[in-house]
Structures are given as C-alpha cells and as structure tokens.
Structure 1
Amino acid sequence: MDVEDILKQAESLVFAKTGKQLEHLQKTVLKGTLQGQTYPEIAKENGFSESHVKNVGHELWHTLSSALGEKVTKSKFKSVFKSLRITSQRSNSNNFSPAEISGICHTNPTINNINIFTDQERSPAPAQTSPDTPTEPQINLDDAPAIFTCYSRTTELNTLEHWIVQDRCRIVELLGISGIGKTALSLRLIDQIKSNFDYIIYQTLCFSPTLETTLTNLLENFGKPAEIPQQIESKISQLLKYLRQHRCLIILDDVQMLFSPGKLAGEYQASLENYPLFFKRIAEIEHSSCFLLITAEQLQEFTQLKKGDHAVRSLVLGGLGIAAKEILKQYELSDEDQWEKLINLYQGNPLWLEMTAMMIQDLFAGNVADFLEYKSLIICDALKAAIQRQWQRLTPQEQAILIQFTALDAPVSLPQLGQKLNLADSDLLNGVKSLRRRLFLEHIQREKQRLFQLNPVYQQYLKEQNPEICERS
C-alpha cells in the first residue's frame, strides 16, 4: 500500500474543490485512517486533543464528499478509494479538476496502476479516550464577575462565534468604552460555543499582572503547579504546546490595565512590555486555540498583526440601541414613548443607562418625561466618577484636545482643531489618534473630508468641569 500516492490523490481532490493544499494535520488524519487508527489514537500519537482531530476529520470528509459527489466518511474512506480508478492517460498527473473527478470509474481498486490496499484490511481498534484530553470542556470562570443579565447582542455573538469557531482566529480583540457590556457579552459567548473547546479560561488583568504571573495562572489549568517551569521562555513554550494539543478559548479581560496612565493609548507599562511580544507569538504560531482580548483601549500592535492575516480580528462594541429598553423595564420606568430618546441621549450604554435609571426612579418616581424636561444632559455622580477615572488616564495633550471640543457645537476637521490649540502638529495628530483608540472621539466622513466630534456624554461632563471654557466661547 502506497500511502503517499493516496495522499497526493486526496490533495488533488481537495485542491480542485477549495484551491487549498492539505494541512499537516489533515494529512495526519488521512494517514491514520488508512492505517486503521481511531481518532483517539491519532490524537494521542500526534499531540492533539481528540475533539480537535475529530473536527478536522469531519471537515475533511465533507470536502472530499463534495468533490467526489458521494458521501465520504472515516469508515468509508478506504472503500471509496478502493473503487477509484485513474486511467493510464492520467498516469503522470496528480492534479484533478471536479470535471475529471466526475468521470472516474469506480470498479478498479488501483490508482496509476498501483494497488493501494492489501488483501487484508486492518480492523479499527476500539475507541479510547486520551487521558490528557477532557471528555467535557474544562471551564474556569473563577475570576469572572457574576452577570445576571446580558441584553440582546445576537449580531455580535454570531460574528464572534464565526471568527472563533469557523475562521479559527488566534486572537480576537473585543473593544468598547467602559460599561458597554464587553464582559457580559464574552460570558454569554461561552454558553454558545463551549462545546467546540477542551478548555475555556477567563482571567482578568485588572491588577496589571506581569506576563510571568499571567502565564503561571494559565498553565495551572493544564497541570500541576510543580510542573510549571520557572523561565518565562519555557512558560510560553509550554503554553503554546497546550494550545496545539487542545483547543482552548482564553479570555483576558481588562487588557487596558496593562497600559500606562498618562501615556498615549496602548503604551504598555515599563514592567509589562513583553506582553506585545507574547501576543505576536500567539498570533503567528500555528494552533487552533483563541485568545479573546477585552479592552477599553485598542492595542497598538493590532494594526500590524491584522495586516493580511485573517487569524486576527477586532470587534468594536457599540450601544445597545432599542434593546436597551429591557434595562428601563427592569427599573420600572414610565413614559415608554420617551424611552428611545433617553436611550439615544446616553448612547445605548448599559452602565450609563442603569445609573441614570436609578436616578430617575429615585428622584422622579420613574417618570422619564419629567426627567427629560431638563434641557442639559444630566450626568449623575456615579457616572461622573466613572468618567473621571478614564480622564485621569489621558495625557495632557489629550486633555487639552478634549477640553477644546467642549466649546464646539459641530464636528471639526484636524486643521480647524489645530487652529484653536497651541499644540505641535505631532502632538495634535498623535493625541487625536490616541483618543480614537480610546473611543472618546467619533468621526464623520463628509465627501472627502473627515470630521471629528466628542461623545456627547463626555462633552457634557467636560463642560461641567470646565465652565470657563464654555463662557469664553
């Protein structure tokens, strides 16, 4: 039996159907199948999880079935290829189009005049589960907050599922301003896709841990603490080994806490500067696991990682829209015809709406119409405190740019903004770019000109903190 010839024929079929060559693990599954191995045996012998090998196998049989026009399964693979006969005219070619495939005669168990099966077929061994591979997904949510409600995010959930499960992205960035519901969405996602993974791990970075600490915490999910190496390079290598052996979903929350306060968005603290190198390795090295990075500030390195690489994606989470009515129902607010206006005022941000709804219930007995009679946007103390924490992370240049926006009633271009500020051109451009990474500034495209405006809630907060600016304007 010439296994390599069979692999060449299978690769020709796959290439004719998909335009892609067989990957290493696909070839491994085919070889193992021809040798009578079960999925657990293939997985254990090659250092992969059983579920991952099964997924690769199922996709492969589906592709071959589509190419041949008949059902191909692991158990039928031998019999299908036994009946495959290539005419002598094709004896010097290993590449076939779908049209050629349809003309194959299914009576001669030879390919290119080579007998591909022996008379005695090996019987498959009974299925065994690798002791290192969990039969059910191992889920560690010890660090995760309790989420009692996750509002409608069907589109976002489906997008993340497609990227992570179907596209097998290695890193997905989930970006959104504070309170928008990033963590709640990620925990909801776990319920939707957990059957596709061997391990699911949630870990918060809110206390700015070193990479060594983060790696140790992650590795503890796979083995005994005594087995964890001391050197950071060895820890990374061991984690990558697990990412290849098992299909893992690792959620790192509060990634923005790795960045330096008072610096431009995405600049790492001095003691944490090895994180971007780690993320780069996760993105570039072949594996079937995924890191979901939740952050309020865009990672600077993502611009380069996303170039021409479909293994890295970024999703910006926006407001809830009409779905935010569920929040107002929970707080038993009245005047339902005014709810949409209230939602739009607070950008559909779940946290901002919850804080405001509490105020309306407390001071206006739940009457939304009475609350909306006030002409200015009301920023409650809890919301002010939340914005103040974000404000303190900005550079002086960023703060100067935002304060200038409080005096503006319409979107402005960069040249217009520069005329009003005593900033060097580089400080202005880098400051605006950083504020965009933090999602403070929104942009509008008008013909060939890009205009910028400040989020209305932030603008009202700054007006209240800097009344003298508004008076001068």
Structure 2
Amino acid sequence: MTYQNKPLQIPAQKFIEAAACWNLEQLYADLTAAKQDYTCSRKQRLTPLEKTYLRGLLCNYSPVEIAAALHRECAGIRVDLSRGLYRYIQVLTLQQPKDWKEIPRMLEIRGYQQNGSGETLLPTLRNSTQTPQTPIENRTEWGLAVDTSIFYGRTTELANLEQWILQENCRLVAVLGMGGIGKTALASKLTNLIKHQFECLIWVNLSHAPVLADTLVNLIEFLSDKPQSDLEKLQLITQDKKLFQAAISQLEFSLENLIASTNAIEPTIIADGIQRLIQCLQKRRCLIILDEWEAVFCTEQLTGNYREGYQVYGEFLKQVGKSQHQSCLLLTSCEKPKEIAALEGQNQSVRSLKLGSLGEAAGEILKNKGLSEEGEYSQLIEAYSGNPLALKIVTTTIHDMFGDSIAKFLRNGLFLGDYSDTLSRQFNRLSGLEIQLLHCMAKEVKPVGCEKLYSDIQQERGLELLKALESLLRRSLIEPVQAESETLFALQPAVKKYVMSVARLPKL
C-alpha cells in the first residue's frame, strides 16, 4: 500500500506539540529569511508543509514517521527535506546537517528552544552577541554583483568558503579560475548566504582598473561610521592621475614634473590610506568583494606583474592579509596574485580556491536549455571541461543548428563559437613564452613533462621556462597531471582547440 493518493491532512494540525518547547514563530521567521537568502528571492516564504516537517523533526520524528503521519511517500519527503528545509537550516546555522537527528540539537544551540512558560532559553541567532548590531541591509553596496536566482552545483566550494570565512575567520580569500568557470557567480551566491554575519558589505568591480587611491577612498567612505573629512590627499592622487591622462592627450603640461610630483608623495599617502582602511576593518565586521582582480595586472607578461602605477595593489593585499582585523576581503581573478601564493596556507588566514569543472551539476544547464539527450550530457560536459559559460554558449548552437541533438553536434568536432571571445581576452594577457609553451603542449596527444618542453623550445634549462609554466598554472590554462616520477602538464580540450586554430605562435 502506498500513501501517494491519500488526501493530505491539514499540516497545521500535525505535530503542534512542538510549540510547547520551541519558539516556533521566531524560527519560522528566521528560516523564511534563510530561504530568501538561499533562493535569492524576497518573495519566498516558508510553506505550511515545510513548517509541518520542521515541527515533526523538532518532536524527534524521523522522515519515515512524518510520512506515515501525513499519509505520504517517505521518498518524496526525503527529497523535499534535502532540497528545501535542510538547506535553509544550513544557511541559518552555518552548519550542514548530516542526519535528521541533528536538527533539534543544532537549533537548540542557536537558542530556539524555550521552557514551558514560553520563555526562550537562549537568545536567538538574530539577537545573539555573535550577530552584528547593525543590520547588513543598512550598509550594503552591491555594485555589479550578478543575479544568482538560478545557480548550479558548487555545494562543496560554498561549504569550504563558508568554513574559511565564518568559522576560521580568514581575512583574505581568493576565488580563482579561467574565464567563464563561474567565479563571480560563486562569490555572489556565497555573499547572499553569509551576508547576515557582517555589519557592512561592499562589492567593487575592478574591470575598469581604478587606481588604488580611488578604490581606497570609496571603501573608507562607505565603511566608516561617519563621512571622512580628511581624505583629500587620497582624492588628490586620483585627480593627479586623471590630470596626467589629460596631459598625455593634450600635451599642455610638463609631464616629467607632473610624474615627479605625483610619485614623490604617493607612497606615503597610499600607505596611510591602507592603514585607515584596516582601522575600518578592525572596528566593524566587514565583507569586501573585489571582482575581476586581473584587471590591475599587466598584459603580455607573466602573471602577477602589476600595471605601471598599480604595484600598490600588491601592498594592499599584503596588509589586509597580515594585519589583525575581524573582516574579510574576497577577490575573484583569472590569475593568482603572488601575494596570495606567498601568504596562504592551511593554518593561515589567507586561502585560495581554484574552480574546476562544474561536474554533473552542469547537466542542469543542458536540461534547462531544453536538451533532452541525457545520455550524451557527460560527453558534452567533458568536452568543455564543465565550464558553465562554454556550455551555455554551445547549447544555443546545438538548439539553433542541430535540432537539439548533442550527438550530431559532437560528430562535427569541438566548436568554440562565441566562447572564443572569452579565451581571446585571456590569451591576450600572455607572454610570448607562455604562448609558445601552449603550442608545444597542443601538438601532443598526451600530457607532456618539462624535459619534452625543454627540447621542443630549444631553450637552456633555466628559470624562464619554469616561471612561464608556473604562470600558466596560476592562470588556470594548464592542468598538472601527476605521473610516477614527474609532474606532467595538459591542456583542456577547448584551450587546445583555441591554441591550434586561433592563437598565433609569437616570434621570440
């Protein structure tokens, strides 16, 4: 006998004894807020059925017992819990429940249990001493953060980032990966999940490469308790930079004198500005997101080299990572800053997360795009290394030109389409030696080691080739493959296709 066709009893009549020991109204309200954070939609509310499930769990009923009481299939309730209520509880408690039995204990620790008189035994999470006194909604600037109402996978990555930032109090965290892999989307999703743990949140996009003085002024003014009246020197640097650019175009000023006067005062003023920002991070628990960090790096050089006049960004990272404060700076970048590489460690307050393939979750992209050949999903995902942007682009091609047939599309070989534009932007940043190395690897069927690359490039064994290999690794353009006696290097299929068909071999 199954329960699926039985009429569902009114949820409000079930497990009402939970109200005797739990502050249900507060819990409903906080879980509704957690659901809104998780779904990125303010229209979401905790449903009557979800409230019923919650009351059942608080009464120590198992999903099997809840299913029997509601005359429903247990399998369906388990799915509902894993996709819904468990996720909202994780957002609320910052812990992932491994079993239904853990739910009452997790919520008890957070202060939702009450005695028989209805008095809550502990302060709720929203009013606890761990929660900032100033609501985050009052001090939030989202900038160009992306919409994550539709978000695929990355549960492990989100859990790791939450652990580093909220539990281990990391001060500097980098999300790294090649173009289109989903760095900005992950940072935006994470921010939605943890924003209520911070007093101030600000999202800054660096794609237009603002000078550090300008960035510091914006951050300090936003994060300070009151408007700052002594930032004139930092603002002057910004104005001098603009004046310098105008002078180049109009040739109306003595450039040598202008450069000399600006460079003479800038280091001291920048150092003072960084210190002022650190003080803001000490006074308030702040979350700063700097998106597209690679914009402040040079092009046509090895990674990690800053543009002329932007070297102070490196010092900025060092100070944020090394100084004592209660805040976190989260950056996204196609290239790993050398300051991150120098400071990070398992027991350090600086960490980095490299994003790889979206994996099986990428199948949801294909399904939502209307591709029905689920048996071909894994082959298509592997061909594009689980890159979300690449898959979204080629699914349009499959729909428009191949009648939604993945098999027909794959028979024509790897197609890059508009994804070439993303790869071009990344390849335009490479040095000549890096491009030459990629061409050597693209000619090989299997992963290649240093010895082979040395002979192919006919270059003496030295630091230059090793530096170029390390630079490509930090750009996420090559993947290390561990062999028995050495580390080999391989290219993703899409990168190999681009190198062979588009990228030109430079003259060295």
Q: Quick check: TM above 0.5?
A: yes
Q: CA deviation at 1:225?
A: 5.5
TM-superposition CA deviations, 1:262-294 (whole Å, max 9, x none): 110111112100111111111111111000011
8 A contact 2:345–2:351 mirrored in 1: no
Q: TM-score, normalised by structure 1?
A: 0.68
Q: Give the secondary-structure state (helix, strand or coil) at the position aligned to 2:490.
A: strand
> What aligned pairs does 1:133-172 form with structure 2 within 5 A after superposition?
134-137=134-137, 138-172=139-173
Q: Does 1:407 align with 2:406?
A: no
Q: One-letter code of the match for 1:379?
A: L
Change (3 A) 1:307 1:322: closer
Matched residue, 2:496: 459
Q: Does 1:228 align with 2:231?
A: yes
Change (3 A) 1:360 1:225: farther
Aligned pairs, how many?
340
Change (3 A) 1:466 1:309: closer
Q: CA deviation at 1:198?
A: 0.3
Q: Distance in 2 between matches of 1:450 and 1:282?
A: 34
TM-superposition CA deviations, 1:146-176 (whole Å, max 9, x none): 4442211111111000100010000011111
TM-superposition CA deviations, 1:441-467 (whole Å, max 9, x none): 111111121111112111011222379
Matched residue, 2:373: 335
Q: Give the secondary-structure state (helix, strand or coil) at the position aligned to 1:251.
A: strand
Q: CA deviation at 1:307?
A: 5.2
8 A contact 1:244–1:287 mirrored in 2: yes
Q: Distance in 2 between matches of 1:211 and 1:468?
A: 35
Matched residue, 1:430: 467
Q: CA deviation at 1:228?
A: 3.4
Matched residue, 2:103: none
Q: Give the secondary-structure state (helix, strand or coil) at the position aligned to 1:220.
A: helix
TM-superposition CA deviations, 1:12-50 (whole Å, max 9, x none): xxxxxxxxxxxxxxxxxxxxxxxxxxxxxxxxxxxxxxx
Q: Distance in 1 between matches of 2:185 and 2:135?
A: 27
8 A contact 1:182–1:294 mirrored in 2: yes
Q: CA deviation at 1:398?
A: 0.6
Q: One-letter code of the match for 2:181?
A: I
Change (3 A) 1:441 1:165: same
Given the alignment, which residue of 402, 419, 429 partners 1:383? 419
8 A contact 2:439–2:505 mirrored in 1: no
Q: One-letter code of the match for 1:370?
A: K
Q: Distance in 2 between matches of 1:466 and 1:190?
A: 36
Gaps of 5+ in 1: 1-70, 74-126
Change (3 A) 1:233 1:318: same
Q: Give the secondary-structure state (helix, strand or coil) at the position aligned to 1:270.
A: coil
TM-superposition CA deviations, 1:188-219 (whole Å, max 9, x none): 11121112110111101111111101111112
Given the alignment, which residue of 321, 328, 343 partners 1:283? 321
Change (3 A) 1:133 1:395: same
Q: TM-score, normalised by structure 2?
A: 0.64
Q: Distance in 2 between matches of 1:355 and 1:391?
A: 19
Given the alignment, which residue of 440, 444, 452 partners 2:481? 444
Q: Give the secondary-structure state (helix, strand or coil) at the position aligned to 2:338.
A: coil
Change (3 A) 1:349 1:248: same
Matched residue, 2:431: 395
Matched residue, 1:295: 333
Q: One-letter code of the match for 1:397?
A: L
Q: Give the secondary-structure state (helix, strand or coil) at the position aligned to 1:272.
A: coil
**Root-mean-square deviation over aligned CA pairs:** 2.4
Q: CA deviation at 1:226?
A: 3.8
Q: Distance in 1 between matches of 2:394 and 2:342?
A: 39
TM-superposition CA deviations, 1:131-159 (whole Å, max 9, x none): x9624452210232344422111111110
Q: Which runs of 4+ in 1 moved over 4 A?
A: 466-469
Matched residue, 2:191: 190
8 A contact 1:397–1:431 mirrored in 2: yes
Matched residue, 1:101: none
TM-superposition CA deviations, 1:80-139 (whole Å, max 9, x none): xxxxxxxxxxxxxxxxxxxxxxxxxxxxxxxxxxxxxxxxxxxxxxx9x9xx96244522
Q: Distance in 1 between matches of 2:505 and 2:289?
A: 44
Q: Distance in 2 between matches of 1:187 and 1:455?
A: 26
> What aligned pairs does 1:251-400 form with structure 2 within 5 A after superposition?
251-306=289-344, 310-374=348-412, 376-380=413-417, 382-400=418-436
Q: One-letter code of the match for 2:414?
A: L
Matched residue, 1:203: 204
8 A contact 1:133–1:246 mirrored in 2: no
Instruction: Name which one, 1 or 2, has greater alpha-carbon Rg.
Output: 1
Q: Distance in 2 between matches of 1:339 and 1:144?
A: 30
Q: Give the secondary-structure state (helix, strand or coil) at the position aligned to 1:366.
A: coil
